[in-house]
Structure 1
Amino acid sequence: MVDVIPTAAPGSSEMPDILHFSSADIDQVRLVLNRFYYPVAIGVPEGADGFSLAVEVIQLGPLTVGHLTFATPVTFQVAELDAYHVSMPTTGRLHARHAGHEVVGTPSTGVVFGPGKPVWVAHDGNSAELAVKIDRDALERELAALLGHPIEGPIDLPPVIDLTVGPGQSWNRLVRLLRDELEYKQSLIYQPLIAEQLRSSVLSGLLLSVPHRYHDELTGPAAAGPPRAIRRVVDAIHDEPEQPFSVADLAAVAGMSVRSLQEGFRRHVGSAPMAYLQQERLLRAHESLRRADPARVTVAAVAHRWGFAHLGRFASAYRIRFGESPSETLRATG
């Protein structure tokens, strides 16, 4: 069974590409994995009857998140990765060999692979995993934007990530949130504004969640951006708050690193740049609701237009800002 939602061509950053797939045909499975992940050799132990693989996958430009379910034990072998990849079992275990490491992945421990090396993975039967692929150039560009200078790749990510505590646990929840949206055809992930924000959050979140040679620089103190550069960002937000700005985009407007932008906003504006952007979007949403015809416009449509990924959180933030719910504002116009 294959159910493809043709929202965009694979690799496009405009809209997500989504697929729901299940098959007992190894050749079909290989084609799907090649399309969304890598050319892979698939092995099934002798006597292991009942092979099947179910895949739910979303591709947001350079980011691919899939939930893979294995009915029987199966091995995957990739000659050479061209991306960064994290496998996080949700049920059962996986055994992996990569770059001189032999590791075991469980629901509490994710397995991390880097580009340029072969990979061998054995999955338990009746197991499942979240498989996160990030194009090499995208993750390295994200890190360079955060730091404000070029980097020498590949990034030396560790072979495993602890999914039970701290940033690793938080990053795991973020990936799961994205995967959960696959079930809803009316999901906000179909909005380019939301898709871009989620993609950037997953990439920067991984960089902040695991140790690597740039981690101390990434998390250490940063010099504040000068007021004139911060003003350029404030003006850009005021001019086009509906744009799918990521924090890296705003840093590019300022001509500085993400960390300097954040410190500059803290010092000169008294707010984080994305929080400032959210408040501007809340203001625009408020203005839209006040002018809207409640017979023709919904709160959800206004929230989508101004880039809010979660209606419940939008309503909560709106009430804090304006002292009433979005629906109350809309009804008052009728």
Structure 2
Amino acid sequence: MLEHALLYDAQGQPLLSGKLNASREWAEVNAFCNRVYMPLAARPLVAGSDPNATLRTLSIGRIVLSRFCFGVPTKADDFDPSSGNIIVVNTMRGSVRHPLGDGVSIDTQPGDSYVVDCSRTDYWNVADGNDLQFNLTIPHALMEETSHRWYGFVPEDDLWTKRLVFGRGPSAWLSLLDYATRSVDARSEGIASPLIERRIEETLCLELLRGWAEQSGLNLETGARGAAPRYVREAERLMVEQAHEAPTVTDIAAQLGISTRSLSEGFRRFRGITPHDYLTARRLDGLRKALERAAPGETVSSVAAALGYVNLTAMTVSYRQRFGESPHQTLRSRPMSS
């Protein structure tokens, strides 16, 4: 599984022809790591040895896939937390040592999948030089969006600080990665359909979140939702029902008879986000549905105006961040009735 990942597409056509795919120069290898993962420090464990690195990378949405090895025994550390990235290391060959917790480390073997949120905890690894990794670089913000969209809350750092192995041997996770890489088309060095690309991005995040939470002992189906007080749940209901009316957080708080501050504190504690972020997301969800159902002749401006949007530039930026495409792309790709 993944033997041909980032080497060939499903039709057997070579990927990344003409790109930098290997290097024996530390400057090139370090530049690759800083660009694909985040700023970090890498040094050979045998003084003076040159790398024999594999450097292959493609993106699916906001997720960066990489086929990588240093080619010599190497330690990497000082991963920059300000990058805001999560790293998933899938060991394909050899072994890679990673930290777990309380001074304990683990050597991942072929088929093992390890995850660390470098924006929430420190990280290092030691590659044995015979290893080959298939890695994912995922923005922490993207995982938060996925959790909130599917489960209604954002886990706290009890989850994000867990460094762990969440898959071993043949697994549903590796099968999903295999499918994702087979979806890449050599002609475009990406996935031809933006819709399919967006769905694969979300499915990867969702499956990672599920496996990560399961190994951490977090039940996503109940999570913070069951513990949230009634006023938080009622606020969510009102925001969903009234999203098309463009209410403010102050309006919602007033309807519940509580202060805006109390509502904000409740969302922060039980949802891990602000009520403004929740309301913004629900309004964007409503806009997306309206664009997908728009009648012939309707424009983004007309649909957005009907939902109370005034600043179309700011709306477009937020929309692209949430859905990975512009409102105009959604409108153009909507199914047309016969």
| TM-score, with length taken from structure 2 | 0.55
1:102 is matched with 105
SS at the partner of 1:89? strand
**In structure 2, which of residues 202, 205, 224 is the aligned counterpart of residue 203 of structure 1?**
205
1:184 is matched with 186
Number of corresponding residues: 222
Q: CA deviation at 1:50?
A: 4.4
The Cα offsets for residues 16-67 of structure 1, whole Å up to 9 and x where unpaired, read as xx96532111112111211121111111122574422121112344322111
Q: CA deviation at 1:162?
A: 2.1
Name which of structure 1's ranges 77-86 and 127-136 shifts more when overlaid on structure 2: 77-86
The Cα offsets for residues 199-242 of structure 1, whole Å up to 9 and x where unpaired, read as 111001111223235435269x99xx9xx98xx899759727xx
2:45 is matched with 45
Cα 1:44–1:198, aligned 2, differ >3 Å: closer, same or farther?
same
> How far apart, CA to CA, are the structure 1 residues paired with 2:175 and 2:217?
25
Amino acid at match of 2:106: V
1:227-242 superposed matches below 5 A: 239=293
Pairwise CA RMSD:
3.8
The Cα offsets for residues 218-277 of structure 1, whole Å up to 9 and x where unpaired, read as 69x99xx9xx98xx899759727xxxxxxxxxxxx9xxxxxxxxxxxxxxxxxxxxxxxx
2:195 pairs with 1:193: yes
> How far apart, CA to CA, are the structure 2 residues paired with 1:71 and 1:58?
20
Counting aligned pairs with the same residue, the percent is 15
1:59-98 superposed matches below 5 A: 59-81=59-81, 82-97=84-99
> How far apart, CA to CA, are the structure 1 residues paired with 2:222 and 2:61?
24
Q: CA deviation at 1:84?
A: 2.0
Checking the alignment, whether the CA contact within 8 Å between 1:87 and 1:112 is kept in structure 2 is: yes
SS at the partner of 2:146? helix
Checking the alignment, whether the CA contact within 8 Å between 1:70 and 1:125 is kept in structure 2 is: yes
The Cα offsets for residues 69-115 of structure 1, whole Å up to 9 and x where unpaired, read as 33222221134443222111111110112543411111132222123
2:147 pairs with 1:143: yes
2:169 pairs with 1:164: yes
Unaligned runs of 5+ in 1: 1-17, 241-252, 254-283, 288-334
Unaligned runs of 5+ in 2: 1-17, 227-236, 242-285, 295-306, 308-334
**In structure 1, which of residues 127, 133, 152 is the aligned counterpart of residue 131 of structure 2?**
127
SS at the partner of 2:113? strand
Q: CA deviation at 1:181?
A: 4.9
The Cα offsets for residues 265-301 of structure 1, whole Å up to 9 and x where unpaired, read as xxxxxxxxxxxxxxxxxxx6997xxxxxxxxxxxxxx
> How far apart, CA to CA, are the structure 2 residues paired with 1:79 and 1:188?
28
Amino acid at match of 1:29: V
Amino acid at match of 2:89: S
> How far apart, CA to CA, are the structure 2 residues paired with 1:163 and 1:62?
25
> How far apart, CA to CA, are the structure 1 residues paired with 2:167 and 2:48?
31
Q: CA deviation at 1:117?
A: 2.2
Amino acid at match of 1:133: T
Checking the alignment, whether the CA contact within 8 Å between 1:48 and 1:73 is kept in structure 2 is: no
The Cα offsets for residues 103-153 of structure 1, whole Å up to 9 and x where unpaired, read as 111113222212322222111223211111211111112111111234434
1:246 is matched with none
Cα 1:67–1:216, aligned 2, differ >3 Å: closer, same or farther?
same
**Structure of greater relative contact order (alpha carbons < 8 Å, 6+ residues apart):** 2
> How far apart, CA to CA, are the structure 1 residues paired with 2:222 and 2:20?
37
> How far apart, CA to CA, are the structure 2 residues paired with 1:128 and 1:172?
15
> How far apart, CA to CA, are the structure 2 residues paired with 1:196 and 1:104?
33
Cα 1:48–1:191, aligned 2, differ >3 Å: closer, same or farther?
farther
Cα 1:77–1:150, aligned 2, differ >3 Å: closer, same or farther?
closer
Amino acid at match of 2:167: D
User: Higher strand proportion, which one?
Assistant: 1
